Amino acid sequence: MTSSAYGSTLPWAEPSWYTGHPSPYYKESHRRLRDFMRKWCEKYTLPYTEEWAEAGAVPASLYHECAKAGLLVPIASGKSIPKEWSHYPIVAGIKPEEWDGFHDFVLWDELIRGGGIVSLFIGLTVGAPPLLKFANQQLQDKIFPEILTGEKRICLAVTEPAAGSDVRSITTTAEKTPDGKHYVVNGEKKWITNGFQSDYFMTTVRTGGPGVNGISMLLIPRSEGLKTRPLPVITGPLAATTFVTFEDVKVPVEYLIGKEGHGFRQTMINFNHERLWVAFQGIRGCRTAIHDAFQWALKREAFDKKLIEQPVVRNKFGNMGRQIESLQAWTEQIIYELENLSDADGARLLGGTTALLKVETGMVSKYVAEECLKIMGGSLGLTKTGQGSRIEAFYRSVPSLLVPGGSEDVLIDLGVREALKLHLQAENAKSRL
């Protein structure tokens, strides 16, 4: 028995559980969240996407609307919401103890379909988790009320002009003052999403000598000596990409995240959710593109036939369909495994797998964006407005799935090294029996 379809019934335009197919992962609260988010986006975001892209900004008032709707709490916490946060609004009335990784997936999936505002939350979703996982309680108690109510914003500042993939070589320094009460920060960070909109910068700094053991994480409040300027990128101004400079910025030592020298490990752990979340972006981006291309192929005529009547065009859809469903299934499998492992085991066992999932997302997205663009033809596929506009925007956004959070080439290698490490550990464990 299957229930009735939700959303579009065009092939692969929605996940199969939306179209009534059974799934072990999604329950009543996931459906409630999906319904809430779709209606919310149809009211607050979808009608304005083109207007915001043209204006180059999303109105600040919308961020407060997001806080009121209970979006910020789950976005800041990822797969599980602390029970101490139950007094904040939580989207669709879901309780912290109910929230799981599949709610996280549904929330992002619908937000991404809602277009235009996803980049508003990137700083929050990558910048807040280290505060939650590693910061002392006093700092959490001070900062979270500000960022969960939307009063202030946070971003993650790791990358530097001369240190991207190779986080070990960052050079931004944080030196203690002689009285031991402050760090003084000097350096530059580049490509920081939401930087110019942020009040807090979750920053990797060098507190010790060279190498990974000299790296720490410091939460830097916007203050004297901290400057930001927007950096134009291919996806347009809504990406909110930023260059940040620190010139003798004084930060109280209480803003250290975890211990000195632990910053590299904390940064690597933080990447795992970021990479999973890139898969969320790619999956819905592909589905939206396939939806729009399908609609077009069903009505456009060329050589006396509808496009969909051309076997070559059907072949494109078949190839897109098999890839997107495989990507969805692998993503769900990883979410399920993370749900059923401790945080430590999740990071240990799935760091490499999540890196490879991100790579696969980039490859599938590249393929789907290009095939959909071809189906739309030059007239629509390359035009920023009209029926091909979502495909044109998705095509431009693909590079931002490939590089941030770890470049494709680096992550493939990481995936193999991690898999081999687990193999050797398993063999050693066997030999000890």
Binding site for ligand FAD (CB under 6 A): 155-159, 164-166, 191-193, 233, 239, 241, 400, 403-407, 409-410, 413
Rounded Cα gap, residues 159 and 49, in angstroms: 29
Q: Give residues with Cβ within 8 angstroms of 325, minimum separation 6.
A: 12, 16
Query: Which tokens hold the place of 408?
Result: 């494709």
Find the residue with minimal CB distance to ligand FAD: 164
Nearer to ligand FAD, 91 or 411 (CB): 411
CA distances from 88 to 103, 107, 124, 192 (A): 17, 17, 16, 28
Q: Give residues with Cβ within 8 angstroms of 58, minimum separation 6.
A: 52, 116, 117, 120, 238
Q: Give residues with Cβ within 8 angstroms of 327, minimum separation 6.
A: 279, 282, 283, 286, 357, 360, 361, 364
Residue 108 in 3-state DSSP? helix
What single-letter DSSP state applies at residue 47? G
Q: Is 219 exposed, middle or buried (0-12, 13-18, 19+ CB in 10 A)?
A: buried
Question: Shortest approach of ligand FAD to residue 376 CB, angstroms?
Answer: 25
Question: Shortest approach of ligand FAD to residue 183 CB, angstroms?
Answer: 19
Answer whether 338's CB lies under 8 Å from 346's CB: yes
Query: Which tokens hold the place of 2?
Result: 């299957």
Nearer to ligand FAD, 202 or 334 (CB): 202
Q: How many other C-beta atoms can be found within 10 angstroms of the C-beta atom of residue 162?
A: 11
Nearer to ligand FAD, 150 or 406 (CB): 406
Nearer to ligand FAD, 158 or 313 (CB): 158
Question: Shortest approach of ligand FAD to residue 40 CB, angstroms?
Answer: 25
Rounded Cα gap, residues 25 and 424, in angstroms: 32
Query: Which tokens hold the place of 258?
Result: 């975890």
Paired with 230 in beta bridges are 242
Question: Shortest approach of ligand FAD to residue 217 CB, angstroms?
Answer: 12
Nearer to ligand FAD, 158 or 376 (CB): 158
Nearer to ligand FAD, 346 or 362 (CB): 362
Nearer to ligand FAD, 92 or 357 (CB): 357
With tokens 């393929």, the residue in question is 367
Answer whether 154's CB lies under 8 Å from 128's CB: yes
Question: Shortest approach of ligand FAD to residue 268 CB, angstroms?
Answer: 12
CA proximity to 91, closest of 18, 46, 39, 24: 39
Nearer to ligand FAD, 191 or 246 (CB): 191
Question: Shortest approach of ligand FAD to residue 270 CB, angstroms?
Answer: 10
Question: Shortest approach of ligand FAD to residue 181 CB, angstroms?
Answer: 27
Nearer to ligand FAD, 29 or 216 (CB): 216
Question: Shortest approach of ligand FAD to residue 28 CB, angstroms?
Answer: 35
Question: Shortest approach of ligand FAD to residue 133 CB, angstroms?
Answer: 17
Rounded Cα gap, residues 74 and 194, in angstroms: 18
